[in-house]
Amino acid sequence: VAYSRDFEFTEGIYLTIDQFKQNHPIPISAIVSPVPKTEHNFLDQVLDKKTVTFKDETGQEQKLATSSIWGYCRNRSVFLNFNQTFNRLNVIGSLCHFTSEVVVVSYQDPTYYGRGINNCYRELKQFILNTESNKVNDFTVASMEDALKTEPELLNDFMKLKKKEKTNSIFIYLRKFNEKRPLYLGGN
């Protein structure tokens, strides 16, 4: 089924991108946890731990590092494990858009004698996930140009834009790309 806004994702944990695409997560009922499954933020609490325990299809308990989980779905929202946190996919399609907080390190040396200091700060950045390759890139003009290479007509239109117009149009071309190349997901 081609993804649309009214697509019903099954709630649970995705170990891989393929489980996401098949809409076949590990269901909440299979997760083993002392947290009551009726808790509103059950998955958040479970995934806040270093490991997750669940019963596989044969009924055997499996234990995984939370850091190895691809993502999860809760309340019709999909969250991707990126940069050691789970980030909500704001746009879902062949190219998915999300934001994530990253640590930026800057080096300053006012003396020019190599005695500078490193400054660390957190910054919210935009990213895109290519669901065909499962690769994440910064959401920039360059990454959009790269993604559009598979759609020459869109790329040609995009390349005709001036630099500032490109910057202002990357969301439009993300949507156009997803319309031309819909993400197909397994049914419910």
- Helix axis angle for 141-148 and 152-159, nearest 10°, is 150
**Chunked mean pLDDT (size 10), the chain, 188 residues:** 90 95 94 90 91 92 94 94 94 96 73 66 90 94 95 95 94 96 84
C-beta of residue 85 within 8 angstroms of C-beta of residue 101: yes
Of 29, 11, 30, the C-alpha closest to 20 is 11
pLDDT at 109: 64
Determine if residue 84 is left, alpha or beta; phi over 0 gives left, psi from -120 to 50 gives alpha, anything else beta: left
Determine if the pTM surpasses 0.75.
yes
